[in-house]
Amino acid sequence: MIMTPGLRKFALTIHITSSVGWIGAVTAYLALDVTVATNQDIQTLRAAWMAMGWITGFVIVPMALISLLTGLVMSLGTKWGLFQHYWVLISFALTILAILVLQSETQLISRMATIAADPTTSANALRALPNTLVHSVGGALVLLVIQVLNVYKPSGLTPYGWRKRQEQRLIRQSADSKA
């Protein structure tokens, strides 16, 4: 089903806002992750871990889910389709991958934020909490790849998209020959 232009613009606005918001929130998280990796001050570590927990739970996860949902609406409700163009398909696959990794990391970050927030947690235990830099840098790179694909929209039809085009071409040709 193709969306009306008004609805398409509305969905696109939410999609861009959530996707760019997701990247922005990951960048903010990354700054805190670097702080955790390089700092030994107990108060800074405690505050950074708690902020990482909040950013992940209240910003990154909702933005990621809204981005996925609106991306699905945008692809299925426009001429692009979800499986017809490689850039859409790859963006979708990378988004799913990023959300799966995020889902597993969210539980760990939440647990570590709880440990950091606990006033009885010792300084050594707080310093022993490992950073999540590998996952946050990897996640940021994946999001940048998705962003580039969505902006450049490199041409390339999937075999399914190619067959759909051929079918449409045959329908057009038979309609022309009848006319």
Partner 1 sequence: MLQTHDEADRGLSYSTPRWVKVFGIIAFVLVLLIALVLITGLGGEHGPGRHTPSTEQAVESNNPGIHTPPIEHSTQQP
Least distance to partner 1 from the beta carbon of 21, Å?
19
State the Cα–Cα distance between residues 22 and 8, nearest whole angstrom: 21
Beta bridge partners, 85, equal 157
Contacts of 150 (CB under 8 A, 6+ apart): 19, 87, 91
Distance set, CA 75 to CA 60, 63, 144 (Å): 22, 18, 19
The window from 8-16, 28-36, 65-73, 112-120 that contacts partner 1 (CB under 8 A) reads 112-120
Beta bridge partners, 157, equal 85
CB closer to partner 1 out of 13 and 114? 114
- Number of residues in contact with partner 1 under rule CB under 8 A: 40
Q: Are 129 and 105 in contact, with CB atoms under 8 Å apart?
A: no
- Structure token pair of residue 125: 């235990």
The window from 9-17, 29-37, 70-78, 119-127 that contacts partner 1 (CB under 8 A) reads 119-127
Interface with partner 1 includes 139 (CB under 8 A)? no
CB closer to partner 1 out of 7 and 108? 108
Candidates 120, 154, 127, 119; CA nearest to 44 is: 127
Enumerate residues 151-170 that contact partner 1 by CB under 8 A.
Answer: 154-157, 159, 161-162, 165-166, 169
| Residues at the contact surface with partner 1, assessed by CB under 8 A | 50, 52-54, 56-57, 86, 90, 107-115, 117-118, 120-125, 128-130, 132, 134, 154-157, 159, 161-162, 165-166, 169
